[in-house]
């Protein structure tokens, strides 16, 4: 490794660590400290002209500011993200909600039109492997790709390695085929091209939020069941995820609740069998799949 490579790794590691700490603070609803860490991370990415990192961190920074009541600052951050051009649907959703709340319908329509144009310009993400081979394992139609073992395939997406690896080992021990993703971009690629039968996904992840991934899935007509994972059920991102049909599991994850949620969303499925459609008559939701007071 050259001295320049070591220097590059140093700033990238520092920016990523600040982002990780900021996301952890967001997950615990400590928005002021989250904003400071995210601002520090954004400063590093901007200094090294890393556009992808900058846009991802800025999305969360705006959210942290908004939750503190600094609405004008947050909106200015999100509007700058749109000005630069982005494929992050969460930013459009946050701005549309803000202008809707103010009754500014013309602004809402402007955001929707910007989103429509962005979707037209952004192709379905392609993995590096697909770029090299010229073909994908699946397509973006949502048609399941049979797993090698014949067991249901579950995608676990979380930027915290210990949580990701723990859930992966447990699900594998329970007989499921497991795929792991460390950020929102990898999660989206896996969903669009590998079509898992179930997605377990952190809501705060680098590159793309869990809400980004969920919004993109639903826009592509993919109705794969999703469980969003977060420390707090009342966070705006979590509530938006629930509105899109996701279930919820709180951190730290209770293993019995995890097993109940998986069995509820994959009813009648045993390892080595194909996935059956959910049957309301034979399955009931796990106690923790919805926040307290949610009667939907």
pLDDT 10s digits, 35-73: 999 999 999 999 999 999 999 999 999 999 999 999 999
CB atoms near residue 75 (< 10 Å): 19
pLDDT 10s digits, 132-170: 444 445 544 445 555 555 789 999 999 999 999 999 999
pLDDT at 269: 60
Nearest to 29 by CA among 68, 76, 71: 68
pLDDT at 279: 44
pLDDT at 270: 62
Q: Where are the alpha helices (DSSP H) in the chain?
A: 3-27, 31-47, 51-67, 71-84, 89-101, 105-121, 128-133, 161-173, 184-194, 210-219, 236-243, 255-265
pLDDT at 292: 42
Residue 270 belongs to some domain of the structure: no
Question: 93 and 157 share a domain?
Answer: no
* Residue 95: HSE in the Cβ half-sphere, 13 Å Cα cutoff: 26
Q: How far apart are CA 266 and CA 269, in angstroms?
A: 6
* pLDDT under 50: residue ranges of the chain: 128, 131-136, 139-142, 274-284, 288, 291-293, 295-296
Question: 82 and 191 share a domain?
Answer: no
Residue 24 belongs to some domain of the structure: yes
Residue 246 belongs to some domain of the structure: yes
Domain's final residue, options 99, 121, 143:
121
pLDDT at 85: 87
pLDDT at 136: 47
Beta bridge partners of residue 156, listed in sequence order: 180, 200
Question: 82 and 166 share a domain?
Answer: no
Residue 226 belongs to some domain of the structure: yes
Question: 71 and 180 share a domain?
Answer: no
Residue 295 belongs to some domain of the structure: no
The number of distinct structural domains making up the chain is: 2
Residue 128 belongs to some domain of the structure: no
Question: 166 and 208 share a domain?
Answer: yes
pTM exceeds 0.85: no
pLDDT at 145: 54
pLDDT at 274: 47
Question: 75 and 180 share a domain?
Answer: no
The token duo for 161 is: 């390695």
Domain's final residue, options 75, 99, 121:
121
CATH of the domain at 178: 3.40.50.2300
Question: 12 and 98 share a domain?
Answer: yes
Q: How far apart are CA 51 and CA 80, in angstroms?
A: 12
Question: 210 and 157 share a domain?
Answer: yes
Question: 81 and 183 share a domain?
Answer: no
Residue 289 belongs to some domain of the structure: no
Residue 142 belongs to some domain of the structure: no
Q: How far apart are CA 209 and CA 228, in angstroms?
A: 11
CATH of the domain at 42: 1.25.40.10
pLDDT at 277: 42
Question: 218 and 117 share a domain?
Answer: no
pLDDT at 128: 45
- What is the extent of the structural domain holding 66? 3-121
Question: 174 and 252 share a domain?
Answer: yes
Question: 241 and 159 share a domain?
Answer: yes
């Amino acid at each position: 490794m050259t001295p320049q490579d070591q220097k590059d790794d140093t700033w990238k590691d520092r920016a990523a660590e600040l982002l990780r700490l900021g996301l952890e603070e967001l997950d615990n609803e400590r928005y002021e400290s989250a904003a400071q860490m995210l601002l520090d991370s954004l400063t590093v990415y901007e200094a090294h002209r890393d556009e992808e990192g900058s846009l991802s961190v800025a999305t969360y920074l705006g959210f942290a500011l908004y939750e503190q009541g600094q609405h004008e600052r947050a909106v200015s951050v999100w509007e700058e993200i749109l000005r630069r051009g982005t494929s992050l649907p969460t930013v459009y959703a946050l701005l549309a909600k803000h202008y809707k709340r103010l009754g500014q319908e013309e602004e809402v329509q402007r955001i929707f039109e910007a989103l429509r144009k962005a979707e037209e310009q952004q192709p379905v993400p392609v993995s590096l492997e697909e770029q090299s081979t010229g073909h994908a394992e699946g397509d973006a139609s949502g048609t399941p790709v049979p797993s090698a073992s014949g067991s249901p395939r579950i995608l676990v997406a979380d930027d915290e390695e210990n949580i990701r690896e723990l859930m992966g080992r447990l699900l594998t021990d329970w007989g499921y085929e497991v795929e792991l993703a460390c950020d929102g971009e990898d999660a989206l690629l896996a969903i669009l091209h590998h079509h898992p039968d179930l997605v377990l996904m952190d809501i705060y992840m680098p590159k793309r939020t869990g809400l980004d991934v969920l919004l993109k899935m639903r826009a592509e007509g993919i109705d794969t069941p999703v469980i969003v994972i977060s420390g707090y059920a009342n966070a705006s991102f979590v509530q938006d995820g629930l509105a899109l049909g996701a279930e919820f599991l709180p951190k730290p994850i209770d293993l019995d609740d995890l097993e109940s949620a998986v069995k509820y969303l994959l009813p009648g499925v045993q390892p080595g069998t194909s996935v059956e459609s959910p049957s309301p008559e034979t399955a009931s939701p796990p106690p923790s799949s919805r926040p307290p007071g949610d009667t939907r």
